[in-house]
């Protein structure tokens, strides 16, 4: 069985990590699509597709997981053709794992089996909450895999976000 998991991963956190570890243990292969791949250097989307690619691949390798493939996906802003767009870029999959109702609906309408993975500590393991903590210099490091802390440090990510918050007035 080949499974699909889609997210923006801004940043990749322990909620995503727990779900993907679970899927990787059940499925032969997991295809991880990085959505909104073209977005970066925005407060809601601070990291590039390549940086998110590093966060995901290093975190999974650190756990000894290797049955995954990462595919960046650009936005098309056209829900009715979005599944075909994703299909044109990813390997064929049998099952789609998502908690996002729109993603589930769009793949379901195309005949895919859609499953909802369990949520892990959704209050803290949340991209929005982690970005807020990053900007406020709070304890976000405990909410992401160690490799993500290292990537954010390598790219000077917190300073990038502080810079994005500034205005020119």
Where do contacts with ligand ATP occur on this chain (CB under 6 A)? 7-10, 15-16, 19, 98-100, 119-122, 125-128
φ and ψ at residue 139, rounded to 5 degrees? -85, 45
Which residue number places its CB atom closest to ligand ATP? 15
Strand partners of residue 32: 5, 70
Judged by CB, which is closer to ligand ATP: 34, or 169?
Answer: 34
Q: Which is nearer to ligand ATP, 43 or 89 (CB)?
A: 43
Residues forming a β-bridge with 30:
3, 68
Minimum CB distance to ligand ATP smaller for 117 or for 155:
117
CB closer to ligand ATP, 132 vs 146:
132
How far is it, in rounded angstroms, from Cα 17 to Cα 128? 16
For residue 107, count CB atoms less than 10 angstroms from its CB and return exposed for 0-12, middle for 13-18, buried for 19 or more. buried
Query: Which H/E stretch holds residue 34?
Result: strand 29-34
Residue 61 CB, shortest distance to ligand ATP, in Å, is 20
DSSP 119: P
């Amino acid at each position: 069985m080949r499974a699909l998991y889609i997210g923006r991963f801004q940043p990749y956190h322990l909620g995503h990590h727990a779900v993907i570890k679970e899927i990787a243990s059940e499925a032969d292969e997991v295809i991880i699509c990085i959505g909104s791949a073209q977005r970066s250097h925005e407060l809601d989307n601070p990291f590039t597709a390549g940086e998110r690619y590093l966060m995901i691949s290093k975190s999974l390798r650190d756990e000894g997981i290797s049955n995954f493939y990462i595919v960046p996906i650009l936005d098309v802003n056209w829900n009715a053709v979005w599944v075909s767009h994703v299909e044109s870029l990813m390997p064929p999959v049998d099952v789609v794992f998502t908690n996002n109702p729109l993603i589930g609906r769009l793949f379901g309408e195309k005949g895919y089996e859609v499953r909802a993975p369990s949520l892990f500590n959704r209050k803290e393991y949340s991209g929005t909450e982690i970005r807020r903590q990053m900007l406020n210099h709070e304890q976000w490091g405990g909410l992401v895999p160690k490799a993500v802390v290292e990537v954010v440090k390598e790219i000077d990510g917190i300073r990038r976000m502080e810079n994005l918050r500034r205005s020119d007035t």
